[in-house]
Amino acid sequence: MPDPLPLSALAHLLFCRRRAALVHVENAWAESVATAEGRVLHHKVDSDPRLERRGDVLVARMLPLRSERLGLFGVADSVEFHRDEAGARLPGVAGRWRPFPVEYKRGKLRREAGYLVQLCAQGMCLEEMLGVDVPAGALFFGTNRRRLAVNLDQDLRAHVQAAAEDLHGLIRSESTPAAEYERAKCAACSMKSLCLPGCSTGGAPVAAYLRRMLECEEDA
Ligand code: SF4
């Protein structure tokens, strides 16, 4: 693998390949209400103490992550360490512990493929760093404070590997894919004012192009 890329780039890619290229090839970025709220939620996580003990569970905040195999690095919002005789030894702490990544998301509980892959990538980083299996993790949703348990199974791991390879290929290519307009997705994307997804007709009739432009205006 070439130089490691941030886990956040993987999240962009899973949402939209063009978005990943706009941010990581063209160095463009635009904030939206959603990204600002996400930052506030993560800041709340950031401002908590870095390590706390809750009975038989240790909670580490803002834990740096890295995987040579995936070529990714980043920071985990929160990693719980559960007592487990087959777990990893941690510096300065007695016993053995099994990591369990918990990723914070804005909005209400939902099962989005991109979120699952992002969480699984964190689990794979922890496995490589600590030399123990990480079979599960969870997504925590800020709006209704609900938690979704996620099994980091083989299908998810294969998806992470493929997405990481795709991301490295995209950045290496130094090219930005054309926009593939999807109304709901593009309406929710903070990059739409830079991307202008409705501006390519893609060979479509002019009427369809104009309809898309009107939709963009309504969604802006
Ligand atoms: S506006 Fe749509 S096509 Fe453009 S980057 Fe965002 S999701 Fe991708």
CA–CA distances in Å: residue 84 to residues 116, 150, 201: 24, 19, 57
Q: Any residues with Cβ below 6 Å from ligand 1, and which?
A: 16, 18-19, 22, 179-180, 185-186, 189, 191-192, 195, 197
User: Where does the pLDDT of residue 203 fall: very low under 50, low under 70, confident under 90, or very high at 90 and above?
Assistant: very low
Residues 163 and 207 in one domain: no
Residues 55 and 159 in one domain: yes
pLDDT, tens digit, for every residue of 80-98?
Answer: 999 999 999 988 889 999 9
pLDDT at residue number 144: 87
Cα 154 to ligand 1 centroid, rounded to whole Å: 29
Residues 126 and 184 in one domain: no
Residues 215 and 116 in one domain: no
In this prediction, residues 186-198 reach a mean pLDDT of 89
- Rg of the Cα atoms in the chain: 19
User: Where does the pLDDT of residue 31 fall: very low under 50, low under 70, confident under 90, or very high at 90 and above?
Assistant: low
Minimum CA distance residue for ligand 1 atom 3? 179
Spacing of C-alpha 18 from chain mean position: 16
Residues 111 and 149 in one domain: yes
In this prediction, residues 160-184 reach a mean pLDDT of 95
Structural domain including 44 reads: 5-177
pLDDT at residue number 196: 87
Tally the domains of the chain.
2
Residues 161 and 200 in one domain: no
Q: Distance (Å, rounded) from C-alpha 1 to C-alpha 37? A: 33
Residues 149 and 165 in one domain: yes
pLDDT at residue number 49: 46
CATH number reported for the structural domain that contains residue 13 in this entry:
3.90.320.10
